[in-house]
Amino acid sequence: MISLEEALTKIDRAVEPLEAREVALTQAIGCALAEEITAKFDVPDFASSAMDGIAVAHEHLQGKSFPIELTIQGTIPAGKPVQEPLQAGHAFRIMTGAALPAGADTVIKVEELEFTGDFVRLMQMPGEGDHVRPAGNDIKAGTVIFSERYELTTLDAGICASLGLREISVYPHPKVAVMATGSEIISPGESLGDGQIYNSNDVTLKALLEAQGFRDIYLHSPSPDDIDKLIPIITRLCSEYDVVITSGAVSMGNFDYIPDVVKRLGGDLLFHKVFVKPGKPALVARIGRSWLLALPGNPVSVAVTFQLYGKRLIDKLMAKDTSSTRERAILTESFSVKGDRFQVIGAHLKRKDGQLLAQAVQNYSSGRLSSIKGTNGFIFVPGGSRQVQEGISVDVEWL
């Protein structure tokens, strides 16, 4: 049995990023870039108006006595620049976002003007360059916008589009299959028989994956406790998916066949059993090109072990930063822990008056799913039976 830190180190050392590929911008959200993105041109690549009004040449107005009257030379809507230069004694009506005509360098907003037919009256001298967005005002050509391995956020997609990009090279979301095991497991909506329970683990895992940006998750129907049926299912899933996540059949019981399946398929076992509570039996192995993440069957253990190993494994496949996201929080209520194993306790986390506060959930148990109601994080407690006192600082991580 290994420690939690040893398990995480094994994942970090063994798992390599998936092959980079070109994806549409909206599919790249949450992914790490496989290459640097540099602006090839100014954005915008022309001087434009920041207001509806008129475009004028500031030098044409110098030495004039205000108010003065100019002739309207034409109108410039956004997206339809004019080729003719601005003439002395004239102005162009111009709309927000429209390109300034040659010779113009200043915009006067419509609220400060009086229009009469083909003429416009200026009441006062404007400042040179007023209400003009120069070329490259947003982004200059040659600027490195995003470095390699940068994780693209929702609003970053629009920045990429402004650079003329439709697709970008990223380390993509891995293809993931999820399957519960156990002859007692049936899908929600079916009628419960004697000794049967509903499959909550698949729903939990799908929700956790979707929170990481996954949208294409394959949910396989629950597999019975039969090694002759498990082997072909695992074989097929590992040939089609980058990550296969199972729950159950991973401990030491008579029907816990996953470790045997790994052996019979010639898998490369990374680890099996970690000195952590809950979730000691967790297993990670490489089978062919796929990673098998075998989690315990208890529903709370599923959530904890996915948080510990599943997120780490997926982040490595996606070339993301795997440095610790733990924070320190003040415990608002005492609780007790028993046993020698490192413990991960469900928690309610909140920020108040500049402090991060943590409260352990009540009646916490790996087999009692209701015990993590409202949980939005976890408290990490070193092994050893004791009372963890209110007011101390503890390690926590947001879910």
268 with 288, same domain: the answer is: yes
157 with 255, same domain: the answer is: no
158 with 196, same domain: the answer is: no
Containing domain of residue 60, as a range?
48-133
Dist CA 220 CA 222 (whole Å): 6
100 with 180, same domain: the answer is: no
In a domain, 302, yes or no: yes
Dist CA 306 CA 312 (whole Å): 9
In a domain, 193, yes or no: yes
Counting Cα atoms < 13 Å in the Cβ hemisphere of 314 gives 26
Residue type at 280?
A: K
312 with 195, same domain: the answer is: yes
Q: What pLDDT does 385 receive?
A: 85
In a domain, 322, yes or no: no
26 with 156, same domain: the answer is: yes
164 with 76, same domain: the answer is: no
The pTM score is: 0.89
Question: How many structural domains comprise the chain?
Answer: 4
In a domain, 182, yes or no: yes
159 with 58, same domain: the answer is: no
87 with 194, same domain: the answer is: no
| Of residues 212, 165, 202, 160, the one with CA closest to residue 180 | 202
Dist CA 158 CA 24 (whole Å): 12
31 with 160, same domain: the answer is: yes
Dist CA 133 CA 47 (whole Å): 6
SS3 300: helix
In a domain, 121, yes or no: yes
What CATH number corresponds to the domain at position 350?
2.40.340.10
* Domain C-terminal end among 154, 171, 188: 171
Give, for all 399 residues of the chain, the pLDDT tens digit: 999 999 999 999 999 999 999 999 999 999 999 999 999 999 999 999 999 999 999 999 999 999 999 999 999 999 999 999 999 999 999 999 999 999 999 999 999 999 999 999 999 999 999 999 999 999 999 999 999 999 999 999 999 999 999 999 999 999 999 999 999 999 999 999 999 999 999 999 999 999 999 988 999 999 999 999 999 999 999 999 999 999 999 998 887 899 999 999 999 999 999 999 999 999 999 999 999 999 999 999 999 999 999 999 999 999 999 998 999 999 999 999 999 999 999 999 999 999 999 999 988 888 888 888 889 999 999 988 889 999 999 999 999
SS3 394: strand
In a domain, 291, yes or no: yes
Dist CA 291 CA 388 (whole Å): 37
310 with 363, same domain: the answer is: no
Return the biggest CA–CA distance within the chain: 99
Q: What pLDDT does 233 receive?
A: 98
Q: What pLDDT does 165 receive?
A: 98
Pair 331, 392: CB distance under 8 Å: yes
Dist CA 125 CA 68 (whole Å): 9
What CATH number corresponds to the domain at position 119?
2.170.190.11
Rounded to 10 degrees, the C-alpha dihedral 31/32/33/34 comes to: -110
Residue whose token pair is 């979730």: 279
